[in-house]
Amino acid sequence: MTGVPGKWGAGAIPEIHTPLMPSTIRNETAAAARTMAAIVAIVFAAEFVTTGVFALLGYPAGDIDAMLLDAALLAVIVAPPIYWLVLIPVRREYEKRLAASRAENLGRLAITDPLTRMMNRRGITVALLDAMAQSERYNAPLCVAMADLDHFKPINDTHGHKVGDQILTELAGILSDALRMPDKVGRYGGEEFLIILPHTTLVGGRKIAERLRAGVHRWEFASDKGTKLRLTVSVGLTQFRKGEDLEQLLARVDKALHAAKHGGRNLVVARKTA
């Protein structure tokens, strides 16, 4: 807009989000009023974002009625094509991004355990399949552990499910804090947690599993009502063998866990073969 000084340039209209009137300019500076006779501008916006400005110049000074009439006509004439050319694509892009965001959130919810906020069975299984593929591809060692809270059913029966949920939530935090950055843990079901240890041999995996077991053993749970409990976990451990499938790997780690349970609990049992 030629002759409009300072902040009253065309780019200023989207900033103020209001029609720019002659009186506005005159009130701002006397120089602006002398520079131009009149102006009306229509701002088009979609989703609170300015998408365009249509400006009309050249009215005799003070002819406000004519300007407002033309502004109304201008809105009727210009709005439909602007709507189709600008607002519709903007709206579609907004809806596309919104749908993608919702899909991402739903996908995240589908693999997240609502209680512990860690991966659920589906999520940790997908992560394990990916870890197995990476192990095969790069010929890197991979260990898998299954940790199970000892004597959890009597705790639930005696103290109630609310206390049981608090225990599982705190246990999930203890397990997560004890793992390394590339490791993954998820709630596999009930009080069982599946742990993925990439780039780890059976010897290294046993050290990590022992650290997990010892950390839980030192933990004293205190409920909201003051109930205090000492808890332990049993851990089964195995190393992935090239060429085996998911069922074979999980069956072997499950056997190792059962051996830890039958061996007296609060133990780590590593199993190399089926």
Q: Give me the active site residues, please.
A: 191
Q: Contact 234/180 with Cβ under 8 angstroms? A: no
3-state helix, strand, coil in the chain (%, to 5): 55, 20, 25
Residue 59, SS3? coil
Closest CA to 196 of 184, 207, 213: 184
Closest CA to 23 of 10, 11, 37, 12: 37
Closest CA to 119 of 131, 136, 107: 107
Q: Contact 235/194 with Cβ under 8 angstroms? A: no
Q: Is 262 exposed, middle or buried (0-12, 13-18, 19+ CB in 10 A)?
A: exposed
> What's the CA gap between 257 and 195, in Å, rounded?
12
Helices 202-218 and 161-178 cross at an angle (nearest 10°) of 140
The order of strands in the sheet holding 184-189 is 184-189, 192-198, 142-149, 233-239, 268-271
Strand 268-271, strand 233-239: pairing: parallel
